[in-house]
Structure 1
Amino acid sequence: MSTPMRPDEPCRRGRWPRLVRRFAPLGLALALLLLAPTIWLRLASLGHIHDQGRAPVAIVFGAQLAPGGTQPMPFLRGRLDTAVDLVRSGRAKAVLVSGDAHGGSGDEVTAMSRYLVAHGVPAHRIVVDGYGLDSYDTCRRAHDVYGVRRALLVSQGFHLPRAVSLCRSLGIDADGVAAGCRGCQTVTIAYNTAREIAAAWKAVYDRVSDRPPAVVSPANQQLTAALQG
């Protein structure tokens, strides 16, 4: 025997669709607001992330090192392997490795430079910037300190819209080249992809405020020499 429906039950059932209709536009507006910087970065980088093209320099963004502080983790190893391929194929002549020389996991740029040399990139083609403390600083210093005006940016696909947009907005004719991540766990990639939502807000703030990099340095001619040597 079925249970009799209470008199107020149809009203309760009808209440939820009305609430959904009422608050759905607000939810959509909040979602668009939350994602607005991410959408801007993707639009600004549209057409500039691909596996073609060439440039005088490839910029490799630093990332965490493995325990011990001498070997790259999968994210960074994928970026470095891609940079090696760019140099071998003639698509880039020099490599600017940019990261934190005093990072929590170790000296990122020294480990990056050693890895590149061990895999066949001539040492005189590598320039090290140990003050690329974040993506904005890497782009700003590449332009202001090392005189980069055209570059291929090497990082994972989830990071490239932000990197490309920042570098292009700072005066570098930049295209992104997606690096692989052999050995990366799906959950790690998902976490870093979601993290880009917050990072996009910081990128917009950094660019709109036109903040100087954390470390301001005079012009450096090392990259010019690497390209001429």
Structure 2
Amino acid sequence: MKINCRNKLRKILITILLIPVVGILIVILNYRMISFVAAGNIYTDSSKLPFHETTLVLGAGSSLEGLWENDSFNHRMEAAAAVYDAGKTKKIIVSGMSNREFYNEPNDMKAALLLAGIPTHVIYPDHGGVRTWNSVERAQNYYKCKSVIIISQADQLERALFIARCINLDAIGLAADPLHYKHRYWSFREYLARVKCTLDYFEYRIRNL
């Protein structure tokens, strides 16, 4: 009887230990899968991009907590201006959040692009880009894009290209400087964001059955 109890206890302990291990493996495999899907569609030189009518710039605030300059924002704006100046696009959608009185990503991005010399009629602020999935899906459904160049940092860009693939939107990406995402916090955040992205995919498939 004691042996049976010990065996049962051992099995319970093994199961308890295995659950987080399996969970971590799933998260890692999911991260790799999204990178694999995006592979081959990311450029680092705007001059080598094929022409696309529309460019989608994913949201970022111009400052961090209203105090420090946001490098990822600056790199995205520089990349977007370079794409337009190289004659690779005619329309730029700046998509992001504007959910607080003094926080408005689309307006910040538009202002930065205007300062960079981009004509105002080229820039389309999208205030519905609450998340990456929303930004990409709205480019297709609201702005009626058939194909886009997507601009962001490397990790988020892979996720955006995965989303585009999921919804059958033809997309390529231009990687802005990835320095900002080398911080451990952002790397951890991206793992979680990719889990949510995969869940969004299943939700999208159910909505479109």
The TM-score normalised by the length of structure 2 is 0.79
Cα deviations by residue, 1:31-84 (Å, 9 ceiling, x for unpaired): 431212212211211111123323111110111332696x96211111011000
Consecutive unaligned residues in structure 2, runs of 5 or more: 1-13
Question: Of 75, 78, 82, which aligns to 1:81?
Answer: 78
Question: Of 163, 180, 187, which aligns to 1:193?
Answer: 187
Distance in 2 between the 1:68 and 1:29 partners?
36
Distance in 2 between the 1:98 and 1:92 partners?
16
Cα RMSD between the aligned structures?
2.8
Q: Tell me how far 1:30 sits from its aligned partner.
A: 4.8
In the TM superposition, what are the counterparts of 1:19-168 in structure 2 within 5 Å?
29-51=22-44, 52-54=48-50, 55-66=52-63, 73-103=70-100, 106-168=103-165
The one-letter code matched in structure 1 to 2:138 is R
The answer to which structure has the higher helix fraction is 2
Contact 2:155 2:181 (8 Å CA) reproduced: no
Q: Tell me how far 1:104 sits from its aligned partner.
A: 7.5
The TM-score normalised by the length of structure 1 is 0.72
The one-letter code matched in structure 1 to 2:58 is F
Distance in 1 between the 2:163 and 2:204 partners?
11
Contact 2:140 2:146 (8 Å CA) reproduced: yes
1:11 corresponds to: none
Q: Rg bigger for which structure?
A: 1
Consecutive unaligned residues in structure 1, runs of 5 or more: 1-21, 213-229
Percent identity (aligned) = 24
The one-letter code matched in structure 2 to 1:139 is V
Distance in 2 between the 1:121 and 1:128 partners?
13
Rate the CA distance shift 1:120–1:72 in 2: closer, same or farther, 3 A. Answer: farther
